[in-house]
Copies of this chain bind each other. A is one copy, B any other.
Amino acid sequence: MTTLEDARALDVTDPLGPMRERFALADGVIYLDGNSLGPLPRQTIDRQHDAVTRQWGEDLIRSWNDNDWIGAPQRIGSKIAALIGAKPHEVVVTDSVSVNLFKLIVAAVATQPDRRQIFFLNVNLTTDIYTAGGAAGVLADHIVQTEQADDLADALGPDSALLMLTHVHYKTGARHNMEVLTEKAHDAGALALWDLSHSVGAIPVDLNGCGVDLAVGCGYKYLNGGPGAPAFLYVHEDLQDGLRSPLSGWMGHEAPFEFRDDYAPAPGISRFLCGTPPVLSLLALESGVELFGDTDMAQIATKSAALFDLFADWMDERCENHGLTLVTPRDPARRGSHISYTHPDGWPIIQALIERGVIGDFRAPDILRFGLTPLYTSHEDVWQAVDILGEILDDEIWREPRFSQAKAVT
């Protein structure tokens, strides 16, 4: 039997335990939805106030220089690079994941003119599939094709231009093998583009070590950058000057302040910028990313695995015979940092949990999803969450009509 004391004992020796105090999480809330929206870092309150009142209010237009707003996309990008095995000049913060995917898909395919330019997708975020479809709609003669990972070696061939993959699946939490699949793409002469939205900040990522060509990722999940925080993109240094973004806005120009009529892309990663960035959201992201400077990804990965094992083991004991099925792989190398179960009544069960202060989320049609975020989730949180879920299931509290009525949102 896994006891509350066991969980508390793990918290005592947790090197990341003190990080919890860096977040403004209310007492009585067990927040297991950081994989959807990371919570507010305490330091972000003052930093955002400074961004609004001093940088914008007092320094006004001069802030582009004096507070280096102009350098923020590259500056924050270099901090994210340290979390994903990239060089500082290989990452830039800009736009949304969807917009960045579009840029990289169109730019990458243009470098493969001798190929029939088929995209191979695997189980991806739906927005990735939507974006790829939109890009293919613009690029005549391109086909978006979906394959399963196991069939990839057979499917990839001389016509393949680009392999797009989501590192960690947003529903199941299953993780693809970045090194192996990138190599398969390269063996076929295709480029590899990875979506890190559900892995950056949660598990170790080694883009350079795996030879990854292109990547995108989300700022508002594990990076705790605030709601809808700008996204980032990565382009391997060897590819940067050979790629042209189809979204050629003024911030990606080699000399944006010369206001010339002709477009010349900036050298390096800056050419993937487009319009003026949303500075307030950008600076909130920087604050979130900087918290990682006081940790290391190995500690984070170790705790992620420990939280997962505690959750899964305690679920086996506490919630057995209630119809919940674990859909996340148990092998730490094959998963991210959230754990998912299926249950036909997943929606009302999650609503009942939220009423009890345990915030997980639901993904249609039947997935209960719990983010296990090493920076601020304690082992006791995990134990209590499972125990409360057990009570809700034992007493069939979720069958109360009000839990079926609420509306779903992200």
Contact = CB atoms under 8 A, between A and B. Distances in A.
A295 to B, nearest CB: 21
Count of identical protomers in the assembly: 2
Contacts of A24: 53, 57
B257 A130 contact: no
Given A60-B39, A63-B227, A247 B359 contact: no
A154 B359 CA distance: 63
Nearest to A26: B58
A52 B45 CA distance: 7
Contacts of A231: 275
Interface string A377-396: 00000000000000000000
Interface in A256-282: 256-261, 263, 274-282
A229 B278 contact: yes
Interface stretch (A137-145, A233-241, A305-313): A137-145
B275 A127 contact: yes
Nearest to A47: B52
A228 B65 CA distance: 14
Q: How big is the A interface, by class?
A: 35 or more
Nearest to A406: B65
A49 to B, nearest CB: 7
Given A52-B44, A53-B45, A280 B284 contact: yes
A126 interface: yes
A278 B246 CA distance: 22
A39 B57 contact: yes
Contacts of A61: 33, 36-37, 359, 361, 410
Contact of A134 (B37, B99, B247): B247
A109 to B, nearest CB: 10
A249 interface: yes
A96 interface: yes
Contacts of A274: 96, 98-99
A247 B56 contact: no
A31 B44 contact: no
Contacts of A228: 69, 276-280, 282
Interface of A: 24, 26, 29, 31, 33, 36-37, 39-40, 44-45, 48-49, 52-53, 55-58, 60-65, 69-70, 95-99, 102, 106, 126-127, 129-131, 133-135, 137-140, 171, 220, 226-231, 244-251, 253, 256-261, 263, 274-282, 284, 354, 359, 361, 363-364, 407-410
Given A98-B247, A99-B274, A134-B263, 10 more contacts: A37-B60, A62-B354, A69-B228, A98-B250, A102-B246, A129-B261, A134-B245, A134-B247, A257-B364, A280-B281
29 contacts: A33-B60, A33-B61, A39-B56, A40-B53, A48-B52, A52-B226, A56-B226, A64-B409, A69-B227, A96-B249, A96-B275, A97-B249, A97-B275, A99-B275, A102-B246, A102-B247, A127-B275, A129-B261, A134-B245, A171-B259, A227-B279, A228-B277, A228-B280, A256-B410, A257-B409, A259-B364, A278-B281, A280-B280, A281-B281
